[in-house]
Structures are given as C-alpha cells and as structure tokens.
Amino acid sequence: MISTDIDYYRASNDEECGITETEILGRGRNLQKFDDSTVTVFETRVRQSGILEQLDRWAAEDSNAEGMGGRPAMISIRALLVALLLLAHEGSPLHIRRAAYVLQHRLSAPSRELLDLPESPVSFATHIPTTKRWYTNTIRAFYRMKKLMDPYPQELYTAKTYTQIQEILRNHDEQRAEKYKARLDEYTRLFIRMTFMAQPRAVRRATKQMDVAFDQTYIGTPTTRGYSRKHLASKVKAERGANLGERSPGPVNAFAGWHVKSGKGERVDNQKGEIDQTAPGRGEWANYDWGWVANLAVRVDAEQPGSKRFRHLVVAASLSIPNMEVAEEGTRLLESAPTLDLAPGIADADKQHWANAKPFRLLKPALKIGFTPSTDYRSDRVGVRGGEHGGLFVEGDVYCPSTPAPLLNATKDFLDKQIDVETYRARLEERKAYRLHVKDKAKGNGKVLLRCPALGPSPTVTCPLREMMRTAAKKNRPAVEPETLEEEFLDTICKQHSAAFDLTEMQAPQQAFDYGSEEWETFHDHARNSVESENEQLKASGDEDIATARRRRVRGIAAAQILVTLLIVNHNLRKIAAFLSDQEIERARTSPRVQTLRRRDRVWANRYTKTTGSGDLTIPRGGQTATSAPPGNPDGGILTMMPMRT
C-alpha cells in the first residue's frame, strides 16, 4: 500500500494518512496521555521533597500586607513541577509551552483531579483562546515560583544599552541577592535529597561517610550576546557620543559572565565585591563562552575506589556566574552534602579549588564542616613552602627541619623528570619517618599539636637532641645528622615537647592520603574520573543536556537553576533505576543458593510441642515414648521422645 493523491486533510479511518484531529489540536506535538501511576509517583516525589512547604514559608515572609488576596491560581506550583518532571522523564525540552500542553491535554481525569486542575474543552472552536489561557496561567505559575528565589531580578525581554547595563549593576542589592541565592540553593538541595533518599537504605549506607568530588562545568544561556565589565565604562562613554541610529543592540542579561572554555585564557576566582576582568581579547588564543557555570558535587567511594557499591549521584548543585566566588560555591556544596544523613568525609577537587583558593575562603570552612581535602598541587607549590616553629611545610605535612634535601624535593625532581616513579615513591616512603607526629587531633579550626618524630612511644628517627623512651621498640631508624643541629638556630619544635601548628596556613593543604602515594593517586583518579563522567552524562545530548540553552528557554540564572535542578533529579532517578536493574540482572544470572538444613534442625523431638523435626503433629500427649508415622515410613514406627541435643 502506498500513499495516493488525496483531497482531504483529516484522516477518518486506519487506512488513511491524512492529518488527524488530535494532531491539529496539538499543532503536531505529542498529546499522548501519561499513565495515572506515573503522574502519581512524580506528584508524590514533589510533595516528599518538602519544597512546597518551603515555598509557602518564603511567600509568607515576602508578603507585605495581610488581606484576602486575589482569586486562586488556576495552576498551582505543585502541578507545574509535576508537569516539568514528566517532561524531563520522557526526555523532552523543559519549555513552559510544553508544560502547558501536558497540563491541558496529556493528563487523564484522575490525574487532573490529583493536581486540582480544571477540565479543558477539546472542541476546535475554543482551541486557540483556551490554549493561550493555559499557557498564560502556566508561565504565571513559573514566575510566581521564580520570584521567591531570584537573586538577580531584571527585565529580560529586550536588549539593553551599555548605559542601562551599568545602571542595573549599580542598583543591584547584594544583601537581597545573598538571601535569595540561599533560597535558590535550598530549592536544589531539597530536590536532590529526595532523589538520594529514593535509594535503598543499604545502598545509601554503603559507606559510613559522604565522600565527594566537586567541580564546575559550563551552562549556556538563552541570550548569547555578552559584555565585559573591564570595558564597560569605555562602552558607555562611546555610546553617549554616538547618534541614536548608530547604537548597536547590547546584551540582554547583565548577570552572566565569560567562561574560559579552552586555550590559554586564565580562570580566576574573584571574591564578592571584586569586578571580573575576564573578556575575550584580540589575538588571544582562547575560547570563551557567555553564560553560567554549574557547581556539582558527586558522591565517590574513598574506601573502595572504582567499586560498584553505589551509583555516583549528584549530591549537591548550584549555578553561579563564571569567575566569581568559586571557592565560596565549593563551600556551599560541602555544606549541602552532609545533610544526606552521612558524616562528612573526603572532598576531592582539581587545582582550581583547593590549590588555588585562600585558606579562609575554602579550607577553613571545609575543615569546620568536617571534610578533609584531596587534590593535586600546582607545580609552583611543591617542595618546602614555608613553615612554623621550625617545622617545614611540605605538600600537606609538617617535617623535621633536619629532613634530607633529596627527600624534601622528591616531588620537584619527579615533575622535572630527574627521577623515575619508583625512586619517587621510595623517597616519599623514606620521608615519612621525618614527619612530625600528631600529639593531639586537629580541631575544626585547623589547629593541631605536633611533636618531634624522635619523641613519644613510637619514634621514627633518632636525634642527638632527644632521649629515646625505654619502652620504644629496638629497631633501626633513620638518624638526624649532628652537623645539621646548631644550638643558636634551634626552634620551638626542637626545644619543646610539642608545638601548636595551624594547618590552614600551608599553601599546600593537608590531605586525606599522603600526596603522591599510590593510595592517593588511586583515589584522586577515581574521584576526578567520576565527577568528569557525571559532567559529560549531564551534558550529553539525548537525555538531560543541561548545557544546551535551547532546551530551557526561560531567561535568567534563577530560571536556569530551577530547570537544571529538575534535570538533575531525573538524572539521579534514572541512574538509581539502572543500578537496581543491574542488581536484578546479576541475581538472575546467579543460580539461587539452596539453604542447607542443619542436623540439629533436621533431627530433634520436642516433648512440649509434641512435634519432630519434620513438624509431625501425630505424637500423642503423655508418656516418654510415642508411636508415630514419620515421613517416608507409612507403616509407622516407634519414636522415642528423648532429648537429641543438650
């Protein structure tokens, strides 16, 4: 059968290929209804996240007056979130118009009743005004929600002049932005917690602590024309001197930035109040993208790196402006991750975070939360980098001032390719003997009591200045050369029993594993691969594709984080389902284990319950012996009710 020349446009039976009434009603879009069970599941997940109660509290907090208010909204925020999650579940773009079509056409009567939605007329005569009304009410619901947590409110419909951009930046309220940014991050945290708690308890508690790897990745913005704050003043000056017809359209969004995607452009970390000077330059070999960055923390396994005990889910997320408060965004991720009912563990990151941020911005807050860093060091920060009380700061640890120079410079020599990896690892192992011993555990502020390695019950070196305890084990130890000890140059660590050190003062922060060791390399590679893999999966086309702005056209960073959060929710749920499916497949492949019945359970007689091991109930009451017909012996036999075990 082939298509023929037709003079109609509406198909009336199965053998005609014209355009159907349903296709006309949906303007060619998919209007297939969602299962009631699917709608119920997502509605339950929205309620269990706790975001609805939080939105109500924020709305009450922002309300300036008491009164009856206007008429009730036709579409609730609950219904909107369910519609967006349904779109994410089927892999559709998160467009508000598509969400309106879901609410108008793709829900059954029970689902409409569940979401408190009105009936929608299906006649074509009222199709156009009804569709417009549903879209208007849907986008109003979205903006009601966005208004409660938008740190950067501005008009986003038209292109601005550079003078207008300058005025928007000048009038920006930093205190309000901080408050509403916290709300936006709380919205994301609640949804991510809901996905994490959807795992079976055994999977959630596969480890006793929450180990994470965090990173940044680029997120596109619907408007691509950007500007540089570095050149903004000159642009405004040139604009004022130009005629009205000579002015070119400027950017739409004032709150975005240039992200260095590749090349020789420098990624910076500006603090609050500083002006980002990042901008594409002529003749510069670098690729820049205008938009935002997503800050993601992924769960990793520090106990068994590379194992498949659980899926590497996103456990904390946020959106921010590139090159601004990178360290502070990392701190917020670490504050959010421990709210998943697991103790803080190890936090791994690349050189942009631990190795680049000042201690008071990232290291001290992380230690206070309970996380221990894991990272690679910059090449200019290896070897001896200062010290305190005579101790030498070397790659996250404090060493004796008489440590041999080849051991202190082992990493430098390895990076300069002067020694091979075997020699490097051997020197690191030898260097451990000169590391100061911990007398008292580190406090949350990074302060720790350390003592000379020649002191204590387990000394690791011998020193002419120190007398070894009699209880110390008799074994060979590295010896400190007397020539390196001069009385006038001795510091606190060589004179006193112990000294207090501030580990946050080290340029290279102390780590969970010995830097450069095989254990450190295994975990660091596992953590970096895990978070980079999550970035690629979230940005891959066909599923969530969070980097593509065309799949979420609503403008503004708040709208982007609202929608990206829902995509992360779908990503986590999809990975959990795949993990459980893999477990079921593995169980099906493995032959079931036959439970062996123990002899003591197989052969016994209970005079009180009058039963045998086979559950025979024919034993007569009274007396020490009874006649019974055991299984397999229909002719009967004599069963003696004597104890078979003691």
DSSP for 322-348, please give it: TTBSHHHHHHHHHHHGGGGSSEEEEEE
Report the range of poorest mean pLDDT among 186-190, 301-305, 511-515, 595-599: 595-599
Q: Which domain holds residue 476?
A: 379-510
Q: Which residue has the higher pLDDT, 196 or 308?
A: 196
Report the range of poorest mean pLDDT among 166-170, 179-183, 184-188, 493-497: 493-497
The answer to whether residue 117 sits within a structural domain is yes
Q: Which residue has the higher pLDDT, 320 or 64?
A: 320
What is d(CA 28, CA 448) in angstroms, rounded to the nearest whole number?
67
Do 558 and 618 have their domain in common?
Answer: no
The answer to whether residue 475 sits within a structural domain is yes
The answer to whether residue 84 sits within a structural domain is yes
Say whether pLDDT at 88 is over 70: yes
- What is the token pair recorded at 170? 């000048």
Do 84 and 130 have their domain in common?
Answer: yes
Say whether pLDDT at 462 is over 90: no
pLDDT for position 153: 95
pLDDT for position 457: 84
Q: What are phi and psi of 447, to 5 degrees?
A: -80, 140
What is d(CA 400, CA 398) in angstroms, rounded to the nearest whole number?
7
pLDDT for position 299: 96
pLDDT for position 600: 63
The answer to whether residue 387 sits within a structural domain is yes
Say whether pLDDT at 360 is over 80: yes
Residues 146-169 have a mean pLDDT of 94
pLDDT for position 136: 95
pLDDT for position 34: 94
Report the range of poorest mean pLDDT among 8-17, 406-415, 524-533, 561-570: 8-17
pLDDT for position 381: 84
Which of 291, 316, 310, 311 is CA-nearest to residue 215?
A: 316
Question: pLDDT tier at 622 (50, 70, 90 boundaries)?
Answer: very low
Do 486 and 395 have their domain in common?
Answer: yes
pLDDT for position 167: 95
Do 576 and 623 have their domain in common?
Answer: no
91: which residues sit within 8 A by CB, 6+ positions away?
542, 543
Mean pLDDT taken over the chain: 85
pLDDT for position 2: 57
pLDDT for position 644: 44
Question: pLDDT tier at 390 (50, 70, 90 boundaries)?
Answer: confident
pLDDT for position 17: 64
pLDDT for position 528: 95
What is d(CA 97, CA 92) in angstroms, rounded to the nearest whole number?
12
Do 32 and 154 have their domain in common?
Answer: yes
Question: pLDDT tier at 328 (50, 70, 90 boundaries)?
Answer: very high
Q: Are 457 and 504 in contact (CB under 8 A)?
A: no
Domain count, the chain: 3
pLDDT for position 613: 60
Do 413 and 496 have their domain in common?
Answer: yes
pLDDT tens for 494-533 read 888 888 888 777 767 788 899 999 999 999 999 999 999 9
Question: pLDDT tier at 388 (50, 70, 90 boundaries)?
Answer: confident
Report the range of poorest mean pLDDT among 1-10, 15-24, 86-95, 148-157: 1-10
What is d(CA 120, CA 448) in angstroms, rounded to the nearest whole number?
68
Do 615 and 578 have their domain in common?
Answer: no
Do 153 and 27 have their domain in common?
Answer: yes
Do 459 and 555 have their domain in common?
Answer: no
The answer to whether residue 163 sits within a structural domain is no
Residue in the block written with tokens 């070196």: 461
The answer to whether residue 191 sits within a structural domain is no
Q: What single-letter DSSP state applies at residue 222?
A: S
The answer to whether residue 340 sits within a structural domain is no
Which of 423, 436, 365, 443 is CA-nearest to residue 396?
A: 436
Say whether pLDDT at 114 is over 90: yes
pLDDT for position 443: 67
Do 384 and 456 have their domain in common?
Answer: yes
What is d(CA 387, CA 501) in angstroms, rounded to the nearest whole number?
9
Do 578 and 611 have their domain in common?
Answer: no
Q: Are 384 and 507 in contact (CB under 8 A)?
A: no
pLDDT for position 318: 96
Q: Are 88 and 572 in contact (CB under 8 A)?
A: no
Say whether pLDDT at 13 is over 70: no
Q: How far is CA 622 from CA 607, 609, 619, 643, in A?
A: 9, 12, 9, 15
pLDDT for position 433: 92
The answer to whether residue 267 sits within a structural domain is no
Q: What percent of the chain has pLDDT over 90?
A: 53
Q: Are strands 343-348 and 209-220 parallel, antiparallel or unpaired?
A: parallel
Domain termination site, one of 459, 484, 510: 510
What is d(CA 184, CA 565) in angstroms, rounded to the nearest whole number?
10
Do 466 and 554 have their domain in common?
Answer: no
pLDDT for position 133: 93
Say whether pLDDT at 623 is over 50: no
What is the Cα Rg of the chain in Å? 34
Which of 550, 556, 560, 539 is CA-nearest to residue 93?
A: 550
For residue 478, count CB atoms less than 10 angstroms from its CB and return exposed for 0-12, middle for 13-18, buried for 19 or more.
buried
The residue type of 429 is E
Q: Which residue has the higher pLDDT, 445 or 103?
A: 103
pLDDT for position 119: 86
Say whether pLDDT at 261 is over 70: yes
Q: How far is CA 153 from CA 149, 169, 274, 532, in A?
A: 10, 11, 20, 32
What is d(CA 133, CA 526) in angstroms, rounded to the nearest whole number?
51
pLDDT for position 640: 47
Residue in the block written with tokens 């205190």: 175
pLDDT for position 321: 95
Question: pLDDT tier at 180 (50, 70, 90 boundaries)?
Answer: very high
Please indicate, yes or no, whether the overall pTM of this predicted structure exceeds 0.95.
no
